[in-house]
Amino acid sequence: QREQQEDNKVSKELEDYVGVDKVYNKISINTANIGELIQLPHVGPITAKKIVEYRKNKSFQNLNELKTISGVGESSYQDIEPYIQL
C-alpha cells in the first residue's frame, strides 16, 4: 500500500515536470509582457522587446501581423501560432 502511494507521488511529480496533462493558455500578443512573450517558441528577449515596441504605435489586428516583426519568419510563426491570440 505504502509503496503504491510512493509510486503515485513520483509519477505525479514527473507528470508535472514534463508537462503531461498541462493546459496551455494562449497569450495575447496585444497585452503580454516580455516575460510571457519569451516563453513562446523562438522568441527571445530582443524579439519580445520588438513586439512590445510595435504595440506602442498600434495593436495587432490579426495574428499574421506578427510576421512583420524582425526575427519572426514563417517557420517561427508556425511554431508560435498555437500559443497566441489577439
Per-residue model confidence as pLDDT tens for the chain (86 residues): 555 555 555 555 555 555 444 455 799 999 999 999 999 999 999 999 999 999 999 999 999 999 999 999 999 999 999 999 99
pLDDT at 20: 47
pLDDT attached to residue 68: 95
Three-state DSSP state, 84: strand
Long-range contacts of 29-36 (CB under 8 A, 24+ apart): 29/60, 29/63, 29/66, 29/84, 29/85, 29/86, 30/55, 30/59, 30/60, 30/86
User: Which residues, in sequence order, are bridge partners of residue 85?
Assistant: 28
Per-residue model confidence (pLDDT) at position 33: 94
Per-residue pLDDT, 8: 53
Q: What per-residue confidence (pLDDT) applies to 75?
A: 93
